[in-house]
Structure 1
Amino acid sequence: MNEKKTKKTGRNPKPDTKTHCVMVRFDSCEWNRFLSMYEKSGVYARAVFLKEHFFGRAFKVLTVDKTLVDYYTKLSDFHAQFRAIGTNYNQVVKELRCHYSEKKAMALLFKLENYTVELVKLSHRIVELSRELEEKWSQKSV
């Protein structure tokens, strides 16, 4: 009658319970360095991060370069504006031919052509800068 009855309720016991605790103290400089490493790791708990780091297990570090994100955002905006200029180009030429004499329209078209050439040069320079940035980024990630 003194036998213990096994209960069927409650949580199932863990097969390998964690029973040993280690305490670590950091000074302010070490703590800030630890926090920055922990945040970069993307691990959900500081204790898990410490264990993985201590036992040499691999963990991922995700970094986001804000300047790179801003650059690509502005580049996308510029490209959208560049396409808008291209679609409006034909409309401008039609309006010049309708509202001005042939001589005046040709003079204005010459100016428009010069500005277009400058815009194309600028576009090529932006593509070069983007390639340089991509090369630097790919070297950095290796």
Structure 2
Amino acid sequence: MEQKKNVKQNKGGRNPKTNPSIHRHVFRLTDEENAQLLSLFEASGMSNKAKFIVAILFSKEMKAVKIDKGTADFYMRLTSLFGQFRAVGVNYNQVVKLLYSRFTEKKAAAFLFKLEKQTAEMASLCKKIIELTEEFNQNFLQK
């Protein structure tokens, strides 16, 4: 019976922290100061306001990330457009193979002539997209 008394019983629950935060400080802010603090907190991207304040007090490195919805939307649309161009390239190769395997050389050449016109049109469109992207980068992203 004496052996059981010397053994610690497991109470369960959370493991105790090695260095718990037990000291509390309270301060008051004006409306303008509070608005500034909240805007800095939102810009930091941190999820805990107390950790944010401690990081500012002790000059820890803060990362502020601004996400521009217009830029993100432009990037997503440009990415989807690039995917569509890749799909057209794959289909282009398949069409050329089918033309030569299913039609005579004369008919295949006629269809290829039409396909070349469309390809030239797509190439000019692609150049225009590249120009617009570079213009967007210079005007909006490099500020």
Counterpart of 1:43? Answer: 46
Query: 1:80: Cα distance to partner?
Result: 1.7
Counterpart of 2:72? Answer: 69
Partners in 2 of 1:73 and 1:49 — Cα distance?
31
Letter in 1 for 2:28: V
Counterpart of 1:4? Answer: none
Counterpart of 2:124? Answer: 121
Unmatched segments (≥5 aa) in structure 2: 1-15
Structure 1 pair 48–104 and aligned structure 2 pair: CA distance change class (3 A): closer
Letter in 2 for 1:86: G
> 1:43-96: CA deviations, max 9, x gaps?
343344345546765421122223222222222221121122122224334179
Partners in 2 of 1:13 and 1:103 — Cα distance?
81
1:98 aligns with 2:103: yes
Q: Pick one of 132, 137, 140 that aligns with 2:135.
A: 132
TM-score, with length taken from structure 2: 0.60
Counterpart of 1:8? Answer: none
Partners in 2 of 1:104 and 1:12 — Cα distance?
77
Structure 1 pair 128–79 and aligned structure 2 pair: CA distance change class (3 A): same
Q: Pick one of 76, 88, 91 that aligns with 1:88.
A: 91
Counterpart of 1:111? Answer: 114
